[in-house]
Amino acid sequence: MTPNTLPQRLTSTIIIALAFSAPAWGKTPVASGTGGAVATISEPASQAALAILNKGGNAVDAAVAAAATLGVTDPFSCGVGGGGFMVIYLARENRVITLDHREVAPASFQSDAFASGGKAMDFDSAVASGMAVGVPGTVRGWHDALDRYGTMSFKQVLAPAIKVAQDGFKINDNFVALVKENEKKFALFPETAARYMRDGKALPAGTVLRNADLAKTYRLLSSGGVKAFYSGKLAQAIVDSVNRPPVAAGVSVRSGQMSLADLANYEARWRQPVRSSYRGYELVGMPLPSSGGVTIAEALNILEGFDLKSMPREKAEHLYMEAARLAFADRNAYLADPEYVDAPVAGLVSKEYAARRRELIDPTQAHHHAQPGDPYLFQQDPSVPLRPASAAKARLLSESAHTTHLAVSDKDGNIVAYTFTIESWGGSGITVPGYGFILNNEMTDFDFTGPHPNVPEAGKRPRSSMSPTIAFRNGKPAFTIGSPGGATIVTTVLQTIFNHIDLGMEMPAALNAPRISERNGQATSIEPGFADSMQARALERFGQRWDASAEEIGAANAIVFNPDGTVTAVSEGKRHGVGSALVQKRGH
């Protein structure tokens, strides 16, 4: 399959042209072939994964190599200072397992950490602080994935990232824009400002950026393994940065209370995935504490009762938005860390509950705000017998939209869909001195005030929206999809699936189509230029309305497993500076 032969069904020729125009920096957002495949937002990261595959590594090895390199080239969205979720398909065993290495709250964390006298503190002030930093899980996740399902060592898979960090890479316009967006935050922390700015301003595009400190950190992991991160000098440096943030003269930010024991005691979790079906596909996604798998399953179950293929596109998209609205009402009300909250997951993903929720949709008119339903009536899991006195108030929280997602498959058919993050663009803003990585601000993913399932608690993992997903058809992999974007991750993955399955778009077109993110707020999030489009005006006739501000939504990556045995890797054709899709050549 090549871009020139893709059908242009149900999407505009303008979108297709944008998706396949010559990308910047030599990257190609679509590639097809017969070997292993990788799709990331970074050419060096995709090349790192391909190099590992070419050396005989499997999809898990290649995913860690790509992730480590993304920590160099995309340091504001991910890295060893954060955490994430990995969905792994083991072809020989025909089995899917998920790895939760989400950050956790330190043992000292209190439920009122972000509230004083019951009043939530300013979100931006909470982000740029030591208190916002959760115990990082990324390195533990990489170790556990490699140890159980990989074939290579840390030393082997980190080698490409070390080279990129040591030799440097040219920063592009997108990188510069992210620094400009964070100039105020980065200026608070001299270690961060010195690396990414000059005289208080972002470095110009084309600058070769090196990170010898991060190369040193990766070498420590190469020689000392996972213990080198969670104990010893590096662990002490993390704790010191959290508890006494290294700020500029005259600056004060709130400190945290992290201990060496918090790091030493951190554990990743192997969890069973969320499974659902949709129009002949089996969808396998991330379970709690990620809300992605459950919310996508519920929304698709609601949509399944409509004959979308027979409808005009605008009516089908209206129904997609209304289904997302209902699913988000439930997501906001019930979902949180399963080790702290007995969420009614079985009820939420049941077809019968979806049928009840579907009855609330008006095919001709938007509702604008949905109330949570009562999934407990459909709860077949006897371990969740209690219904709360009243469902928590459903609300649209300020969830940062800055993460990264990668997809890798190997020649043997193994697949990794991996989303990981440091939360906001630039995380907390705190770079660990001498080690070259930014610490997360994941604790701000908790609800600042309660009562609510997602309030802060010691040792708890904040609810996430990360949604790495693998779809199967007739028992075989059909495609994998995931994206960054905070709460918009859920709708990006949901809409891409809807575009691909219901609107009949080939994956590149489905992924590059304008994103519409309805999350049960006062208005729907959209991208620049959408409000003036014919598509928007058609949806406005159903009463849909748009957020006054528009910004790029997500930066998705996918792999399609074609019926003829070939694979097609798909990345962004225009967002985030254009993505990078690569497929192995014959002979590997």
Same domain? 23 vs 92: no
In a domain, 395, yes or no: no
- Residue 178 covered by a domain: yes
pLDDT tens digits, the chain, 588 residues: what are they? 333 333 332 332 222 222 223 233 346 899 999 999 999 999 999 999 999 999 999 999 999 999 999 999 999 999 999 999 999 999 999 999 999 999 999 999 999 999 877 789 889 899 999 999 999 999 999 999 999 999 999 999 999 999 999 999 999 998 999 999 999 999 999 999 999 999 999 999 999 999 999 999 999 999 999 999 999 999 999 999 999 999 999 999 999 999 999 999 999 999 999 999 999 999 999 999 999 999 999 999 999 999 999 999 999 999 999 999 999 999 999 999 999 999 999 999 999 999 999 999 999 999 989 999 999 999 975 565 556 655 444 444 444 456 899 999 999 999 999 999 999 889 999 999 999 999 999 999 999 988 889 999 999 999 999 999 999 999 999 999 999 988 999 999 999 999 999 999 999 999 999 999 999 998 999 999 999 999 999 999 999 999 999 999 999 999 999 999 999 999 999 998 899 999 998 656
Cα angle, residue 426 at apex, residues 296 and 40 outer, rounded to 5°:
55
In a domain, 159, yes or no: yes
Q: Mean of the per-residue pLDDT values for the chain?
A: 92
Q: Are residues 73 and 21 in the same domain?
A: no
Say whether 30 sits in a helix, a strand or coil.
Answer: strand
Backbone angles phi, psi at 168, to 5 degrees: 95, 170
Same domain for 93 and 16: no
Determine, yes or no, domain membership for 397.
no
Domain boundary (444, 463, 482) is at 463
Burial (0-12, 13-18, 19+ Cβ within 10 Å), 272? exposed
Whether residues 207 and 275 fall in one domain: yes
Strands 516-517 and 269-271: unpaired
Q: Which residues face 305 on adjacent strands?
A: none
pLDDT at 577: 85
Query: Which run of H or E residues covers position 556?
Result: none
Residue with tokens 């697949």: 415
The answer to whether residues 149 and 264 belong to one domain is yes
Last residue of a domain, one of 445, 463, 481: 463
Q: Is residue 319 part of a domain?
A: no
Secondary structure (3-state) at 361: coil
Q: What is the spatial distance between Cα 106 and Cα 458, in angstroms, rounded to a whole number?
A: 6
Q: Which of 403, 419, 469, 496 is catalytic?
A: 403
Q: Are 400 and 423 in contact (CB under 8 A)?
A: yes
Q: Which residue from 584, 254, 561, 289 is spatially nearest to 446, judged by alpha carbons? A: 289
- If asked whether residues 119 and 253 sit together in one domain, one would say yes
pTM of the predicted structure, to 2 decimals: 0.93
Q: Are residues 76 and 208 in the same domain?
A: yes
Residue 403 designated active-site: yes
**Of 431, 447, 463, which closes a domain?**
463
Judge whether 95 lies within some domain.
yes
**Same domain, yes or no: 1 and 120:** no
In 3D space, the residue among 317, 292, 314, 293 whose CA is nearest the CA of residue 303 turns out to be 317
pLDDT for res 15: 27
Do residues 188 and 113 both lie within one domain? yes
Looking at residue 461, what DSSP letter applies?
P
Q: Let me know: does 481 contact 556? Beta carbons within 8 Å.
A: yes
Tokens of 183: 């100039």
Domain membership flag for residue 387: no
What is the span of the domain harbouring residue 12? 1-27+571-588
Beta strand residue intervals within 286-403, DSSP E: none
Per the structure, the count of domains in the chain is 2
Instruction: State how far the alpha carbon of 496 is from the alpha carbons of 218, 532, 550, in Å.
Output: 35, 22, 19
Q: How many other CB atoms sit within 10 Å of the CB of residue 355?
A: 14
pLDDT in the model for residue 20: 28
In a domain, 339, yes or no: no
pLDDT recorded at residue 347: 97
- Residues 115 and 198 both lie in one domain: yes
Q: Six-digit token pair at 319?
A: 């129904």
H helix or E strand, kind and range, residue 214: helix 212-224
**Alpha helices (runs of H) in 395-528, residue ranges in sequence order:** 488-501, 507-512
